[in-house]
Amino acid sequence: MADFDVIVIGAGPGGYVAAIKAAQQGKKTAVVEREHLGGICLNWGCIPTKALLKSAEMFQAMQHADQFGLDVTGVKADFAKVMGRSREVAGGMSKGIDFLMKKNKITVIEGTASFTGPGAIEVTDGKGKATAYSAAAIIIATGHRPRTFPHLPVDGTRMINYRHALELEKLPKSLLCIGAGAIGMEFGYFFSTMGAEVTVVEVMDQVLPLEDHEVAKFVERQFTKQKVKVRTATKVTKVDVGKKSVTVHLQDSKGAETTLEVEKVLVAVGFLANTDGLNLDKAGVQLDERGFIKVDEHQRTTAEGIYAIGDVAGKQLLAHKASFEGEAAVGHICGHPQPVDYAQIPGCTYCQPQVASLGLTERKAKEKGIEVNIGRFQFAASGKAKAIGHPEGFVKLLFEKQYGGIVGAHIAGVDATEMLGELSLAFKLESTAKEIMETVHAHPTLSEAVMEAAADALGMCVHQ
């Protein structure tokens, strides 16, 4: 007999959700974790970085308090305390996951797992002791690690990744972020607001390459206003790492070369699936051409009874996507499958201005041959946005012409990530521009901009 009905390898937002869902379905469940419950997201990613960004937002707001008739002087940031609060928040969340494991009677096995055959694993603890376990179903949720390149040698001191950034004890005087995705932009905003001189370099022709081009242009302009130097269509060809600084060699799209000397370089150029050491070949689990585990619509791998979810399974590398894949895998195991609809996976970037998006960008819609009606609403025309001192940003909605259903949603501005929920529901319900326009939104709220953008798509907006 198997030791467990379900074993989950990895206790991040995909793994721990899968384990809890399996336990709630009456399955005898275990989760294997080699480091911290909650995974990268809770301990070194989503949660601690948002704590840092909130400190930056507060600091920024206090510096502009005079705009609200408030006299605040002598404001300064205690970098060590800011970083300490971030670690405290992360630690508290990890303890919460431990409570949930106990509450749901899930066995937590500490150590590193590797397959010894189909349905069988071996877990090696910190002292080198190996113990064998078996299960009717095994879910791989081992996540990702930062991608490295030979010409960008991460040493944890001068050349750092996001994890090193979360452990800094002193604010660097200058920082270059290689990569203008979510990590590069969020840390770029944080360190700049704290007082560092920041440059962001992106090889693609826009920051936030996965976002709508209008959103990307707006965010770049806002960063420039905040004195962050942004260089798109630029690649790093070489770095010379010294004892006190790094000389970075840059090349633009025309071949022109320049150099920049900074105290530290943050490398944020993608991720690799955590499959090393799992001995997937012994279980018959295959990888795709990018190194992620091959899965079908039910998260099943190429091996019977073995599933993969989250970053290790590719597609969008997002915590909430991992959680829903965990539910999908458990659903299939328990006989009520419900595949994930990847078109409805939202994306958020928490720099200021924030960015939130869902569905197709305008360019993607054109590439797919989908004719759309586009509605826009500027926060400059929003009474609430002006009242709170943040009239910058906009909402952009895309509706396909034939039936009027929403196919794309893009928000840039303060609290944009908190406004995306109703649009996620709109996607789920296949709402039309008319339905969103006719949904009564409370006044004054930022969310009125969603209603107004829908009305604009129909040529019926009255406030701009």
Catalytic residues: 443
Q: Is 411 helix (H, G, I), strand (E, B) or coil?
A: strand
The residues near 448 (Cβ < 8 Å, ≥ 6 apart) are 382, 384, 441, 442
Dig out the tokens for 78 from the structure: 């205690």
| Count of residues making up the chain | 464
Q: Please tell me whether the peptide bond between 353 and the residue prior to it is cis, using omega within 30 degrees of 0.
A: yes
Q: How far apart are CA 445 and CA 451, in angstroms?
A: 11
Of residues 251, 246, 261, 213, the one with CA closest to residue 231: 251
Which burial class, exposed, middle or buried, applies to 343 when counting CB atoms under 10 A from its CB (0-12, 13-18, 19+)? exposed
The answer to whether 388 and 414 are in contact (CB under 8 A) is yes
- CB atoms closer than 10 angstroms to residue 208: 24
Dig out the tokens for 390 from the structure: 């943040």
Which burial class, exposed, middle or buried, applies to 453 when counting CB atoms under 10 A from its CB (0-12, 13-18, 19+)? buried
Between the alpha carbon of residue 91 and those of residues 107, 130, 142, the distances in Å are 20, 28, 20
DSSP alpha helix (H) spans, 104-146 = none
Q: How far apart are CA 158 and CA 161, in angstroms?
A: 10
Amino acid identity at 450: V
